[in-house]
Amino acid sequence: MLALLAGLERARIYQVAKLLVHMDNATCVDLVLKDQLVSNSIRPLVVRCKELIRLPGWQVHIEHVFREANRASDWLANQGVNAPTEVTFLDEPPDDLRTILREDLLGVTTPRFIP
């Protein structure tokens, strides 16, 4: 939820007119898009995300995608687990991430394993 909030705030700063957010965390998507009970610990984050989404001057669409369809985000999330700060902004993607982004642009698919 913190990553979504940081992304929305950054997009707003850069005056993005249309924003499409793909998230592999279905719970976060549901919390932002639906009227559900939210635990006290993340309620301020959810409320702030909803406020930002409703601001005039831009269109925000948020949808759930499976991790395999969101490999760049998954890679970043895994890096963030051991990051020294809550939010990190990168000016350039690291080489591993650059490879994932290139594959995404080329339409390389990753099969989903379902046991």
Same domain, 57 and 88: no
pTM over 0.85: no
Same domain, 59 and 76: no
Query: How many residues comprise the chain?
Result: 115
**Has residue 114 been placed in a domain?**
no
Same domain, 23 and 37: yes
Calpha distance 52→56 (Å, rounded)? 9
Domain tally for the chain? Answer: 2
- Which residues constitute the domain of residue 95? 67-106
Round the average pLDDT of the chain to a whole number and report it: 88
Residue-level pLDDT at 20: 94
| 78-103 pLDDT, tens digit each | 887 777 777 777 889 899 999 998 98
| 17-26 pLDDT, tens digit each | 999 998 888 9
Calpha distance 32→18 (Å, rounded)? 17
Same domain, 9 and 24: yes
Residue tagged 């998230």 (tokens) = 23
**Has residue 115 been placed in a domain?**
no
Calpha distance 21→42 (Å, rounded)? 19
Same domain, 77 and 53: no
**Has residue 112 been placed in a domain?**
no
If you ran DSSP here, which 8-state letter would residue 17 be given? S
Same domain, 79 and 58: no
What would the DSSP string read from start to end of 60-115?
A: EEEEE--GGG-HHHHHHHHHHTT-SSS----SS--HHHHHHHHHHHHT---PPP--
Same domain, 58 and 78: no
pLDDT band at 57 (very low <50, low <70, confident <90, very high): very high
